Structure 1
Amino acid sequence: MATQKISKILSIDIGGTHIKTSVLSKNGKLLSEYKKLPTPQPATPEAVVETIKTLTKGLEFDVISAGFPGYIKNGVAITAPNLGTEYWNNISLADLLTKTFSKPARVVNDADMQGLGLVSGKGFEMVVTLGTGFGTAFLKDGELLPHLELAHHPIKGKKDYDAFIGEKALKKLGKKKWNKNLQFILSVLKTVFNYDTLYLGGGNAEKINFKLDDNIKVVTNIEGIDGGAKLWKQ
């Protein structure tokens, strides 16, 4: 389907705790209410799709954009650490959504999709989401770069980023220690990636209690909502 024929895009954000949907114009304007429901447990593909069907009842759209919390390759889920990789490994979510709704679907990592909506499009920009886990996206002049599952790279001893700074770490360590962990991570990212701008999003970004560098911006999920529209312009 040619981009110019697209007028309504169903944007889906699949998270470890909630699934959110909205309908966007091709320019990213919100055309429907931003809705969310708890992510089903267990989060099998069938249960997730049923939740999406409930959220989208009565909505009209031409195409689908979905952000998924794991590694996606050509619309196929390879890992899903916060949903259950055993349920999702080698599941084509793009095909599943296309078959369910009879509409073309594009699926990328959730941080990648949010990143498309957040970045300025100038230089090398990095997006980090602080939620159930640790999500990342990298963009150069507004174009998505290949996704890296940085969350599973060891950052401290045997702990990877998810274990060091994810939701479980926040609950176990408390806000003060969690912020110290985040400061350590940001010092590593600054040295390794030398980004022009870093965006910090996700539900736990509001818990940051220290001064950030001038080229680090705290953002909300709503600010990146038009990523679902921009995915069809990539």
Structure 2
Amino acid sequence: MTSLPSSDLNELVTLLISQSQEKEKKNKLPDMDYLYQVLDNLEFLRFGKNILDPEGKAAQKTYPWMAGLHKVVMGILRTKYLTPEYTDISLEIANAASLIVGKAWFNEDKKVLPLFAGLVAVQLRLVLQDEENVDAGKVDCCASLMKSLIDMAEDDDDLDDDIAGMMGAQIHEGLTFLIETLLKAEAQLNPEAKRPLFLIISFYLMTGAHAIFEREKMIYVKRCLKHIYEQAPEKEGMKELMEEIEETLP
């Protein structure tokens, strides 16, 4: 395989599109090495964006690679019998891209949003199956994607009602599982995994979703979230959410 310069993201995506079209005929997936090169490029772009524009106030940029990359990633994720390695890299790419371009990533094809939300919810279940050996990086990736999907469902007035409804159902199912996991196994989870769980559960409940759940359950959830907050070595991004939780939950 010929290696491409790591800086040429557009060329990498063009190559992946070509590979995807060719390999569809042979029922094969794009080369993993190229997918990792894409992820490295995205992480580099994201790092630069955070340094140069930490508050996201710069004028909206255009990203010529976005549409093609979205098509490649969603094509991979819709493949039957997908291996865990391809699932992981595809979700990491989707998360990195969405953190760079924002909601434009999800606007590429809104019809796939319910399917994508369901896939992220299933992935969270798989990652959290063994509470004592949780991969915190995978939890963080899936929780970040779930937050972006919640934002989309809450704020996009142009989202079709049927799509929003199906998407909301998948999100609720996924977050209900996270809440049950938190209540059952908070003590067993490693600290690195607790932080993204705190952030996504708190964010979801503060959209008004807390009203869906029983009051008694929310009492216990509040205790768990407060315990995680108090034990967290780094509280960046947690303080305001904890204040809202204290004010809102019983």
Question: Could you state the TM-score of these two structures normalised by the residue count of structure 1?
Answer: 0.26
Based on CA coordinates, which of the two structures has the bigger radius of gyration? 2
| Higher RCO structure (Cα 8 Å, ≥6 apart) | 1
Specify which structure has the higher proportion of strand.
1
